[in-house]
Structure formats: C-alpha cells, structure tokens
Structure 1
Amino acid sequence: MTRSRRPSAQTVAVLLALAEEPSAWRYGYELCQQVGLKAGSMYPILIRLADRGLLDTTWETSPPPGRPPRHLYRLTGPGLDLAAELAAETPEPRAQPRTLRLRPEGA
C-alpha cells in the first residue's frame, strides 16, 4: 500500500489496538477506553479506515434486550499489513530517565 504521509498518532494507536486481536470484532466504545480517545475523535478515524478498505464493519447481530445493536470493527488484510508496518516504525517507549543528584543526600 502506498501512503503519501504517516497516519496521525491517534490513527496509529487505533490500528495497533485492533491488531492486538486481529480476528476479533471490536466496538468503538471499547476502543475509546483502550486508546484513550473520545468518541468525537474515534468514530471519524474508524470511518476513514473503513472507507480506505482497512477495516471490515458489521452490526452486532444479537444485542442484549433494551440495547440497540453496536457497530463492530476489525482489520482487513491490508489493514493488518499497515498495522504491522506502523508497529515496526513505532519506537518502543523509553524508560523514564533517572533523576540526577547534584548533591549527596542530607547535604
């Protein structure tokens, strides 16, 4: 897949979250909680990814009584390929730097 620019950090986070269990259907609220995005940011990202063929989407078939069906998402083959590519490019978080002590304790 040819990309003209790197996806936003939020989009990368969503792709990597979906790639943790690529065959599992996930719903938006669950992803919001995992990634730490609000619905106003999450759903436009999911819509763009689906429009680009990177996500499969479907409606929940058997919601509990009294609750409407949820929209579910999972990565397609190209979406999983992109997530793997982005995971390889994303640096590992570094450990917190140690605090330097300029004076001995108690001085």
Structure 2
Amino acid sequence: MVNPVRITAAVSKVLAAFLEDPEAVRYGLDLMRASGHPSGTLYPILVRLQNAGWIEAYWEEIDPVAAGRPARRYYRLTPDGRVTAQTEVAALRAQLNHSLGAGKPATDPRTA
C-alpha cells in the first residue's frame, strides 16, 4: 500500500527542486541548497516521498577513501512521482494564488 503524502509548503519546495530537472539524480546537500531546507527537514520529507513511491533512492558505488568523501545517497523522481509532483505543485500554486487574490484587479484607494 502506498502511503499518502500531505503536500505542505515544505514538501512542495522539495518537489519543486526535483522538477527543476525531472530526469536528474539529486543528493541530499544538493536538495538542501535547492529547497532551502536543513537536513532535519529535508530527510524526513525524502523518506515520506520514498515510502509513497514518488522517489527512489540508491547509494553511490564509490570507494570513499579513493574519492576522499563518503558515498552519496542519490534520489530521483519515479515516473509516477513526476506526474504526481507536477500535479500537486501546480495545485498548491493555484491554491496559493487564489487565496492571495491573484487575478483580481487592484483597487486604487483614491477612486474607491
């Protein structure tokens, strides 16, 4: 059973980071920079997205000694995750635009 993901502003920022280049693989620090979230916010979101089947994750296969750094865990959108992310981010943006009154003509207080 796929776990539902509640689309919050924080989740939306992570999904938007993935949607910048939907085919790209991303790693934690890269996603922290793109989303603006610290690790304590980002990684629980990534776990929820992975449990929902929206992203997949795998460990980089390197020799940490030769590379001079630890192996990275890479993340990428699944095909279903890509479609869902595009739909959910667009819906959240539309909801925010509607609640902020986007599209309404501005009223000049001098003429009202």
Whether these two folds match at TM > 0.5 is yes
TM-score normalized with structure 1 length: 0.75
Q: Give the number of equivalent residue pairs.
A: 95
Segments of 4+ in structure 1 off by > 4 A? 3-6
TM-score normalized with structure 2 length: 0.72
- RMSD over equivalenced CA pairs, Å: 2.7
Gaps in structure 1 of 5+ consecutive residues: 95-99, 103-107
Map Cα deviations across residues 30-57 of structure 1 (whole Å, 9 max, x no partner): 1111111000000000011001111011
Secondary structure (helix, strand or coil) at the match of 1:83 reads: helix
Aligned equivalent of 1:81? 83
User: Alpha-carbon deviation of 1:16?
Assistant: 1.4
Secondary structure (helix, strand or coil) at the match of 2:17 reads: helix
Gaps in structure 2 of 5+ consecutive residues: 103-107
Aligned equivalent of 1:33? 33
Identity of aligned pairs, percent? 37
| Paired residue type of 1:49 | L
Aligned equivalent of 1:20? 20
Q: Distance in 1 between matches of 2:16 and 2:82?
A: 9
| 2:59 counterpart of 1:59 | yes
User: Alpha-carbon deviation of 1:86?
Assistant: 1.9
Aligned equivalent of 1:49? 49
Q: Distance in 1 between matches of 2:22 and 2:67?
A: 28
| Paired residue type of 2:81 | G
Shift in CA distance, 40/16, structure 1 to aligned 2, threshold 3 Å: same
Q: Distance in 2 between matches of 1:57 and 1:78?
A: 15
Shift in CA distance, 68/48, structure 1 to aligned 2, threshold 3 Å: same
